[in-house]
């Protein structure tokens, strides 16, 4: 596996590979890899001739007072894990090269970014879509893989790719959970043991909501109230949002139907965790 930090070198390699008829599969990440990332890398390994992983903690998607500085980083550890699943090229650019002096171009997706994380983290998705668009321009992938834990991010990136006619197939893969149900996230490492236990409230809330829907409940407000009550039992948990939204438009749903998606963002201590679950999966079309 080669580690490339230079943007021009990365782009030249990718263009040359494409010219030779090679199919490029790409997994963009912010590093501190876990089993969720590895599931993306394994799928990408099967989907292309050359597997490219990027690791870049993108400063422009973090707001003032957010966890850019404390976001976990360990390139040596990541390189070992990436190599173990057959990554060919690990791209790790420097922030000063991605955003040089005079940088002035931003990609902003409207509509889908107005709710959920877009509302609670102003400017976040502008940073995400800008960096993903840049990475797509550098790596020129045929196919790119993202996790469904960041459900809104995936929807926004799909919208961007369609709207800008980017020749990249965007694929989303299911959430990977720890054995006890906690959704895997690089940020989990920042939880103390007590917070790690409290973080299970997100999955407990999801299970509670799914059980209510399975028992016939269709009123979003009642389900949301029950989930909120469960999560607020944890002393260090602060709800950022708990919402039930339409899985395509990401607007709030009053009545749970087959499009209903439960999405949560909860701070446990200072660590912000997100999770989601498709409540409508079992509901037949009415």
60 binds ligand PAF (CB under 6 A): no
276 binds ligand PAF (CB under 6 A): no
Which residue shows structure tokens 């494409």?
A: 18
Selected binder of ligand PAF within 14, 53, 131, 245 (CB under 6 A): 131
128 binds ligand PAF (CB under 6 A): yes
- Rounded least distance, CB 99 to ligand PAF, Å: 13
Active site residue 246: no
Selected binder of ligand PAF within 13, 26, 61, 247 (CB under 6 A): 61
Q: Which backbone phi and psi does 112 adopt, to 5 degrees? A: -60, -20
* Number of residues assigned to the chain: 286
For residues 92 and 49, the answer to whether their CB atoms sit within 8 Å is no
176 binds ligand PAF (CB under 6 A): no
139 binds ligand PAF (CB under 6 A): no
For residues 264 and 255, the answer to whether their CB atoms sit within 8 Å is no
Q: Which stretch binds ligand PAF (CB under 6 A): 128-136, 164-172, 243-251, 272-280?
A: 128-136
132 binds ligand PAF (CB under 6 A): yes
Given the residues 37, 124, 142, 277, select the one marked as catalytic. Answer: 37
For residue 248, what are the CA distances in angstroms to 2, 23, 123, 164?
Answer: 38, 29, 21, 19
> Counting Cβ atoms within 10 Å, is residue 28 exposed (0-12), middle (13-18) or buried (19+)?
buried
Selected binder of ligand PAF within 14, 25, 29, 234 (CB under 6 A): 29
Which residue shows structure tokens 């009642």?
A: 222
Q: Which stretch binds ligand PAF (CB under 6 A): 125-133, 162-170, 241-249, 266-274?
A: 125-133
Which tokens in the block code for residue 31?
Answer: 């590093």
In angstroms, rounded to a whole number, what is the distance separating the alpha carbons of residues 265 and 267? Answer: 7
Residues found near ligand PAF in the complex (CB under 6 A): 28-30, 58, 61, 128, 131-132, 150, 153
Catalytic (active-site) positions: 37
């Amino acid at each position: 596996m080669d580690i490339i930090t230079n943007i021009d070198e990365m782009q030249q390699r990718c263009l040359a590979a494409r010219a030779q008829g090679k199919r490029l599969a790409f997994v963009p990440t912010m590093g501190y890899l876990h089993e969720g990332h590895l599931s993306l890398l394994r799928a990408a390994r099967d989907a292309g001739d050359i597997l490219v992983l990027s690791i870049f903690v993108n400063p422009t998607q973090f707001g003032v007072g957010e966890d850019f500085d404390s976001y976990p980083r360990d390139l040596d550890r990541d390189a070992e894990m990436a190599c173990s699943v057959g990554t060919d090229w690990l791209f790790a650019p420097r922030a000063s090269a991605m955003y040089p002096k005079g940088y002035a171009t931003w990609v902003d997706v409207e509509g889908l970014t107005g709710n959920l994380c877009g509302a609670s983290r102003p400017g976040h998705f502008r940073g995400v879509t800008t960096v993903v668009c840049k990475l797509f321009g550098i790596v020129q992938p045929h196919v790119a893989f993202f996790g469904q834990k960041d459900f809104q991010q995936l929807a926004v990136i799909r919208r961007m790719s369609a709207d800008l006619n980017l020749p990249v197939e965007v694929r989303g893969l299911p959430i990977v959970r720890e054995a006890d149900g906690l959704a895997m996230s690089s940020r989990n490492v920042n939880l103390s043991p007590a917070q790690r236990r409290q973080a299970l409230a997100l999955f407990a809330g999801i299970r509670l909501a799914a059980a209510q829907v399975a028992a016939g409940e269709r009123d979003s407000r009642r389900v949301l109230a029950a989930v909120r009550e469960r999560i607020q039992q944890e002393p260090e948990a602060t709800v950022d949002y708990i919402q039930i939204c339409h899985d395509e438009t990401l607007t709030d749903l009053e009545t749970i139907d087959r499009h209903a998606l439960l999405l949560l963002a909860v701070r446990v201590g200072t660590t912000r965790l997100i999770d989601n679950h498709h409540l409508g999966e079992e509901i037949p079309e009415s």
